[in-house]
Copies of this chain bind each other. A is one copy, B any other.
């Protein structure tokens, strides 16, 4: 995968929508005008085909101009119409299923049907030990920046991944840790977790290549997406590496 270009390279701000959480039509319309670069459909719990299909159909109706990607956590919820599929590989899981088991099972099941050109592999490091995803995957959360960097380097150097996703899931992360990863990898760096203001969006987007707004949208309303997208696109990207 590491030789490929993919559309994430140009995305600075994306919104993660959870099929298991409600969102109104008027908010979807505002989302489409918010300036975010893409929609990633995905969640940890309660993901079904029907819920995913329903959300996707509404997105296609109200904001067809934005890329609509799925982050795959449940094989039965895969939609053929998606623009692309993000395949999470949980680098710091405690169980082989989350690093290779589910992926291998999917390849064994679908084989020739897999549209490889629409796949992007996400090398996840889960950094909030109290999050649902940390519990589900038995994540071993590093207790220093160096351990986090080592996971990212392993992903890039050993597993040839060109996208690293630092997932603070529901909590705002430590910018110094994100910067430490930035300094030691050339992979496309995605940050997610706790972005609920323009200031936080600017702080993390100044370090990472892409920031993800998720929970805050449901908890604080669609204005968070508008504010953070505007803030991210107003800054010049300051990459130290």
Contacts and interface: CB of A to CB of B under 8 A. Distances in A.
Interface of A: 1-3, 87, 89, 91, 93-96, 99-100, 103-105, 107-108, 111, 116, 119, 121, 146-147, 149-151, 153-154, 157-161
Contacts of A149: 108
15 contacts: A1-B2, A1-B158, A2-B2, A2-B3, A3-B3, A91-B100, A99-B99, A99-B100, A100-B159, A104-B154, A107-B157, A107-B158, A111-B150, A121-B158, A159-B161
Contact of A160 (B105, B107, B160): B160
A96 to B, nearest CB: 6
A97 to B, nearest CB: 10
Q: Which of A95, A119, A153, A159 has the most CB of B within 10 A?
A: A159
A154 B111 CA distance: 10
**By CB atoms of chain B within 10 A, which of A3, A105, A150 has the most?**
A150
Given A3-B3, A93-B96, A96-B95, A104 B151 contact: yes
Contacts of A158: 1, 87, 89, 100, 103, 107, 121, 159
A86 to B, nearest CB: 12
B147 A108 contact: yes
Nearest to A157: B116
